[in-house]
Structure 1
Amino acid sequence: MKLIMVTGGARSGKSEFAEELALKEGGDNVLYIATSIPFDEEMKERIKRHKERRPPSWETKEAYKNLYEVISKSSAKVVLIDCLTVMITNFLMEVDLMWEKANIEEIDKIESQIAAEVEKILKAKKVFKGDIILVTNEVGMGLVPEYKLGRIFRDIAGRMNKKVAEAADEVYLMVSGIPLKIKG
């Protein structure tokens, strides 16, 4: 009953590594929670490739909210959530807000909603009988985004990643396809 975080940059092999861990620990009994919304052709192609790579026996649930309920009701050996930063993006995009003019109170309100969802995922670790593997992007090691929404996203993602890493039993950082165990 572990929480395992897999982080790294774009196209670093996070999902593939997390899927290998899930297969090793859960075999055919894995619940894959896909947090992405197929809003354009490029995203639809990414989702298609992810699905083709997974064993057909794995159950897939597409959701980015109320994950506590999904996880706590599951009888799978492993729950794989792919990914936290896409979940954060979905929360940000559902808000009707002029991001360049957003004030700190508006941003804090949205971040508190995201933090509450992350806390529920961490709470699910206490009731779920198997392992939870959570994939997320490390977005704080690059340039400072030029636009305010990019900075808001980077900062919220960084704080949520920190929250998950603190609670995780194991943390892996993917670098150019190589997993580096940095906790656990």
Structure 2
Amino acid sequence: MVARAVLVTGGVRSGKSRHAEELLADAGHVTYVAPGPTPDVEQDPDWTARIEAHRARRPAHWATVEGHDLAAALAQAPSAVLVDCLGTWLTSTIDVAQAWEAPSDDVQALVEQALEGVVEAVRSHPGPVVLVTNEVGLGVVPVHRSGRLFRDLLGTVNQRVGQVCDEVHLVVAGRVLVL
């Protein structure tokens, strides 16, 4: 039985999405929330292929919600919900506001405001809720401002969401460590 709310974190290609899906494998109805930017096949065929692989892996009876309003998607999900992922949600949130070049304090305030709704939606959802995120703060300091901004903000997002989750699962090389 999965905990009411679980945050699954790890590096790129660590197996975190597959683990999150396995946590809800026995749930009847699952709402899969993909809160990232919609890929442009012409601009980024690799990202489009990655999204298609995720879509193909999902059970046919799972409902999919795509769009950046994560708080609303969580609030409207009738039962089990899987969010994949908070990193793409963060990217979409900054993209929609066209805030990548805004002062850091302004972007922080924007994300904090959006995050309040997400945290409350996770807290109030009857569950189960499984959220996937990226662990990006373990490597080198990004050379570009946007990379540093993303890394720092995702660290904030992960901490705030992790605080309202019952469990945090760290996935490394396909292995899961429950924190």
Q: TM-score, normalised by structure 1?
A: 0.87
Alignment-derived partner of residue 124 in structure 2? 127
Q: Distance in 1 between matches of 2:99 and 2:106?
A: 12
Residue 13 (structure 1) aligns with: 15
**Corresponding residue for residue 158 of structure 1:** 155
In 2, distance between residues paired with 1:171 and 1:124? 17
After superposition, what is the alpha-carbon deviation per residue over 1:56-102, rounded to whole angstroms, capped at 9, x for unaligned?
A: 1000000122x2222222222x1111000111112223344573xx5
In structure 1, stretches of 5+ residues that fail to align are: none
CA contact (8 A) 1:2 1:125 kept: no
Show structure 2 runs of 5+ residues with no match: none
Q: Find the residue that maps to 1:18 and give its secondary structure.
A: helix
Deviation readout 1:3-55 (Å, 9 max, x if unpaired): 2100000000010000000223x2x3000001222132112111110011000
Percent of residue pairs bearing the same amino acid type: 37
Distance 2:32 2:130 in 1: 10
Instruction: Map 1:127-146 onto structure 2 (within 5 A).
Output: 127-146=124-143
Is 1:69 equivalent to 2:57 in the alignment?
Answer: no
2:48 to 41, 44, 51: 44
Match of 2:64 among 39, 54, 60: 60
Return structure 1 stretches of 4+ with deviation > 4 angstroms.
none
What is the root-mean-square deviation of aligned Cα atoms in Å?
1.7
TM-score (norm 2): 0.89
Structure 2 letter corresponding to 1:62? E
